Amino acid sequence: MRIGKQMSGFALLGVILIVLTATAQSPLADSSKRSVLRGAPVEYLFPEQVTLPVGKPSPVTLHFRVAPGYHINSHRPKEESLIPTVFSVPGNAGVRLESAAYPDGTDFVLPLDPGTTLSVYTGEFKIQTRLIAPRGNQLVQASLRYQACDKSACYPPRTITVPIDVIGN
Amino acid sequence: MKRNTIVLSITLLLLAVLAWAGWANWEYRKQAAEKRAAMAAKAELIRSSSSDSPDAMLTSSPLIGKHAPNFTLEDLTGKKFSLASYKGKALMINFWATWCGPCKIETPWLVELRNQYASQGFEILGISAEDDDLAPGDKAGWARDKAAIAAFVRQEHMPYPVLINGDSISDTYGGLEAMPTSFFVDRSGKVVAVQLGITSKDDMAAKIKKALAE
């Protein structure tokens, strides 16, 4: 009986070990699917899931990261020809975007053009949104449109998907 | 009872150690994956960044040594321009976009270089490639693009042909993943140099001379 109990304890230990091993490898597997590995300069970080009161505008802070060596135009670039960073939620998403507050851009000067100051985001930045959720679970495929550059070249405007699991209750 | 307690304690301790090891391993792998991701993005971003020479930004293109792919594009007035009609001239095919800051920086250099070398048989073809995923039927979007290109041309006083809809020939020129991208073509129509991103006026002049050489 005692031996049986000890055996079941070891079996439990084995199961936990397997789970821990699998968990330990998951970040690598996940990151290989991330857009940054494919060269996309902007990555959505989190939250993946939010729980909001139904029908009430609620704050949700979205976190993004610009890859090292890149910068993207802020929401209010200093020149009209530059493409601003804009977050949007599709009209048919169920969840509505009441407002989005963007951070101020950081001043950035290209070495080859010291007379021009750009307003950009680098590293991690946050967009403060207010979302209105219906009852139930909605997987919202929101979007972030941006245009990235480095010190010598610019990359075409791109839109990344911002997936958020919104639970309204 | 006492033995059970000892076994239970050892099991719990083992579990705690394993949990800690698993968490530490997870953190380590996460950080390593993030580092790799950042490195991968950077590697794609700045080509040949290991070199400090002006040629560091020069991409090796499969087009070098081959004939520049022919195209026919229109300028803002609807006039058609064909690459084939420039046979016998050295050319710089300069892809640019209105949203591209470095393109704006290098344009005055292009104007000066074009004026300097035109008498030797050199010409520039500026080609706007906005790559903004406009649908063919998006008349307002195309009109907005055209207005932005026209404003850029006026502002920069570009004396050479500026063609539009460069995205339609992007694939034949290697995909044009960044702006500006320039192809230097010799008098026989062969690509002798490619430049991704901005370098310097002197570097461009050297490539133009290479294109002018027989």
In the prediction, which pLDDT does A14 show? 52
Question: Per-residue confidence at A29, pLDDT binned at 50, 70, 90?
Answer: very low
pLDDT by residue (tens digit) across A45-62?
999 999 999 999 999 999
Amino acid, res. B201? K
Which of A155, A159, A160 should be substituted to probe chain B, the one whose Cβ sees the most B Cβ atoms within 10 Å?
A155
Nearest to A106 by CA among A132, A72, A130: A72
For A8, phi and psi rounded to 5 degrees?
-65, -30
**Residue A89 pLDDT class (50, 70, 90 cuts):** very high
| Cα within 13 Å of Cα(A40), Cβ side | 20
Neighbours of B143 (CB within 10 A): 10
Rounded mean pLDDT of chain B? Answer: 83
Q: Is the pLDDT of residue B86 over 90?
A: yes
Q: What is the pLDDT of residue B6?
A: 82
- Give the predicted TM-score (pTM) of the model: 0.73
> Best of A20, A73, A117 to disrupt the B interface by mutation (most B CBs within 10 Å)?
A20
Buried b (16+ CB within 10 A) or exposed e, B8-44: eeeeeeeeeebeeebeebbeebbeebbeebbebbbeb
How many Å apart are CA B43 and CA A70, to the nearest integer? 12
> From CA B198, how far away is CA A150, in angstroms rounded?
10
Is some CB atom of chain B closer than 8 A to the CB atom of A23?
Answer: yes
**With contacts defined as CB-CB under 8 Å, which chain A residues touch B198?**
112, 152-153
- Select the more confidently predicted residue: A32 or B88: B88
Beta-carbon neighbour count of residue B210 at 10 Å? Answer: 13
Most confident of B8-17, B26-35, B43-52, B88-97: B88-97
Nearest neighbour of A24 by CB, restricted to B22, B97, B102 = B22
Q: What percent of chain B has pLDDT over 90?
A: 55
Mean pLDDT (whole number) for A144-155: 94
Distance from C-alpha of B18 to C-alpha of B3, rounded to nearest angstrom: 22
Compare B39 and A105 and report the one with higher pLDDT.
Answer: A105
Q: Which chain A positions have a beta carbon within 8 Å of B41's beta carbon? A: 36-37, 39-41, 67-70
Q: With an 8 Å Cβ cutoff, are B101 and A28 in contact?
A: no
Chain B interface includes A123 (CB < 8 A): no
Q: Do B46 and A152 make contact, defined as CB atoms within 8 angstroms? A: yes
CB contact under 8 A, A149 and B102: yes
The beta-carbon neighbor of A9 closest among B11, B25, B196 is B11
Q: Which residues contact A17 (CB under 8 A, 6 or more apart)?
A: B18
Residue A34 has pLDDT above 90, yes or no: no
Bridge partners, A51 (sequence order):
A167
Q: State which amino acid sits at residue A110.
A: L
Q: Residue holding tokens 């099991």?
A: B11
